[in-house]
Amino acid sequence: RDLKKALGLPAATSFKHVSPAGAAIAVPLNKEQLKLCMVEDLENELTPISTAYARARGADRMSSFGDFIALSDTCDVTTAKIISREVSDGIIAPAFEPKALEILKKKKNGSYCVLQIDPNYESQNLETRTLFGLTLEQKKNDALIDRKLFSGTNVVATSKPLTEEAVRDLIVATIALKYCVTCANRPLFRLLTTEAVDPRITSAVFKKGVKRAEISNYIDVFVNGSVGKEMDANTWKNAFESAPALLTDSDREEWISKLNGVALSSDAFFPFRDNIDRARQSGSDREEWISKLNGVALSSDAFFPFRDNIDRARQSGVDYIVSPGGSTNDTSIVEACNHHKITLIHTGLRLFHH
């Protein structure tokens, strides 16, 4: 609702564990973005609100796995179609088209959570929480984020005027940040992959049976240059009819050098100028430092859905992993741990409480 109020366009957010994994407004998708958001087959059916959700989900597909969706406008049939083929736990919207509701009712064998909210509802100014008999109160976050926030004397350093697109992106980023739980902020640089990815991967043909979530992983390791590191080279090759040529270091530097107009929002001040230098640069070489890490212990309160989690953990020196287990892909996870000589413990115990 904040996004629509600020920008006047239908908006959607993909929440994971009460923080937004992706937030977007209804800006049309080009051919490349249609493919990256996995809605190219619906190009002629896309509506403003379905476009907003496709963008929100596509911002960070791995973090959006099992999301809860919030829409500013009525959920229509096209939006319901997109949701029906994604792993999602629920949706909240001001209204639902009858046919869209029928589609959503079939999801998760009828257990998909569908909530309707009064779009004019205003919560109380005072928020209250009770923990072990202790009552905590705080004023709700009613910060107004609009174009005025990014203009006038607030602009303290600039070499050129802010474009409309730049202001729009800053508003989306900052409103999303407003709803992040404290300490949930994470680097936003990987979101760049949604906007610009080498055509070698966007035009690649995946083998039949490769799942949508897995495709997101393959694109990610391609862009990050972690094939053969975070992901086994044979696993990579076996996912394609014909595996695309990998990016070289020079390819990646050239690609990143062409990126411009990226908006970055932070919920804390920048203590040193190297934060700004890092945002402007393509990245720092951490491989030598990371390669020296060993004996790291990793504890997770959820199962690991794909083996690339283990491959990545190994790159950070992880030798010991404990998790509840329970994934349909546990066999692959165990195989990955054996491959990396990682000790894996499945406790069967979930500690997370809502």
Express each pLDDT in 93-133 by its tens digit: 999 999 999 999 999 999 999 999 998 898 889 989 898 99
Q: What pLDDT, on a 0 to 100 scale, did the predictor assign at position 187?
A: 41
Report the alpha-carbon distance of residue 255 to residue 335 in Å, rounded.
35
- The percent of residues in the chain predicted with pLDDT above 70, rounded, is 79
pLDDT band at 283 (very low <50, low <70, confident <90, very high): very low
Compute the distance between CA of residue 76 and CA of residue 27 in angstroms, rounded to an integer.
17
- Please tell me the distance from the alpha carbon of residue 105 to that of residue 90, in angstroms, as a whole number: 11
Between the ranges 54-58, 177-181, 208-212, 279-283, where is the mean pLDDT highest? 54-58
DSSP 178-211: HTSPTT-----GGGHHHH---HHHHT--BPTT--
Kindly state the average pLDDT of the residues 273-289: 54
Q: Which of the given ranges, 161-175, 286-300, 333-347, has the highest pLDDT on average?
A: 333-347
pLDDT band with cut points at 50, 70 and 90 for residue 172: confident
Looking at residue 271, its pLDDT comes to 62
Nearest-angstrom CA–CA distance, 58 and 60: 5
Question: Cβ neighbours of residue 204 under 8 Å, at least 6 residues apart?
Answer: 240, 242, 243, 244
Integer Cα distance of 13 and 27 in angstroms: 14
Q: Which of 78-87, 136-145, 257-266 has the lowest mean pLDDT?
A: 257-266
Region of poorest pLDDT, from 180-184, 186-190, 294-298, 301-305: 186-190
**pLDDT at position 85:** 94
Neighbouring C-beta atoms of residue 112, cutoff 10 Å: 17
pLDDT level of residue 284 (50, 70, 90 thresholds): very low
What pLDDT sits at residue 287? 56
User: Which domains are delineated in the chain?
Assistant: 2-116 (3.40.140.20), 197-257 (1.10.287.440), 287-346 (3.40.140.20)
Cα end-to-end distance, the chain, whole Å: 24
Return the pLDDT at 49. Answer: 98
CA distance 333 to 338: 9
Tokens of 203: 């035009």
22 in Cβ contact with 14 (< 8 Å): yes
Catalytic residue positions, numbered: 16-17, 185, 354
Each residue's pLDDT tens digit, 189-231: 343 334 456 778 888 899 999 988 788 888 888 877 888 887 8
Q: Confidence band (pLDDT; 50, 70, 90) for 162?
A: low
- Per-residue confidence (pLDDT) for residue 281, from 0 to 100: 52
Strongest mean pLDDT among 79-83, 159-163, 339-343 = 79-83
- Tens digit of pLDDT for each residue in 10-48? 999 999 888 889 999 999 999 989 998 999 999 999 999
Please name the amino acid found at residue 139. K
Rounded distance, CA 169 to CA 173, Å?
Answer: 6
348: CB partners within 8 A, 6+ apart: 324, 325, 326
- For position 353, what pLDDT does the model report? 42
Structure tokens at 14: 């993909």
* More confident site: 299 or 114: 114
Residue type, 94: P
pLDDT of 180 strictly over 90: no
The token pair that represents 225 in the structure block: 């240059």
> In the predicted model, is pLDDT for residue 166 greater than 80?
no
Residues above pLDDT 90, as percent of the chain = 33
The pLDDT score that the predictor gives to residue 261 is 62
pLDDT at 282: 45
Q: Quick one: pLDDT band at residue 176, thresholds 50, 70, 90?
A: confident
What does the alpha-carbon distance between residue 78 and residue 60 come to, in Å, rounded to a whole number?
21
